[in-house]
């Protein structure tokens, strides 16, 4: 995550950034002892075609997931 231009680098090698690298980047900004989660929802949130129960394009996958988790915990 070293960078020549910034304190931290969140760039992947190639087209994809990577969920694990994004989580490691965000961890630098979380106070120790704080519970947190990183959900990489970009892929399933923008689908090319509809597959029940999801619709194509912006389908709110991450919002639905978080709402379901909050209501059940």
Torsion of CA 53, 59, 61, 62, to 10 degrees: -160
Is residue 61 located within the same domain as residue 72?
A: yes
Is residue 1 located within the same domain as residue 32?
A: yes
Whether residue 45 contacts residue 62, with contact meaning beta carbons closer than 8 Å, is answered with yes
Is residue 62 located within the same domain as residue 73?
A: yes
Reported as type and span, the H/E element at residue 57 is: strand 57-58
**17: closest CA among 39, 37, 40?**
40
The DSSP 8-state label assigned to residue 31 in this structure reads P
Model confidence over 32-69: pLDDT tens digits? 999 998 877 766 666 677 666 666 676 677 777 888 88
Model confidence over 57-66: pLDDT tens digits? 766 777 778 8
Is residue 3 located within the same domain as residue 30?
A: yes
Is residue 24 located within the same domain as residue 44?
A: no
Q: Which domain holds residue 44?
A: 40-73
Domain tally, the chain: 2
The whole-model pTM stands at 0.54
3-class DSSP state of 49 = coil
Is residue 28 located within the same domain as residue 46?
A: no
């Amino acid at each position: 995550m070293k960078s020549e231009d910034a304190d931290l680098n969140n760039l992947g090698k190639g087209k994809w950034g990577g969920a694990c690298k994004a989580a490691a980047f965000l961890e630098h900004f979380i106070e120790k002892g704080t519970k947190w989660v990183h959900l990489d929802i970009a892929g399933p949130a923008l689908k090319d075609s509809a597959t029940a129960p999801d619709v194509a394009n912006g389908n709110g996958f991450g919002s639905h997931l978080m709402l379901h988790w909050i209501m059940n915990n």
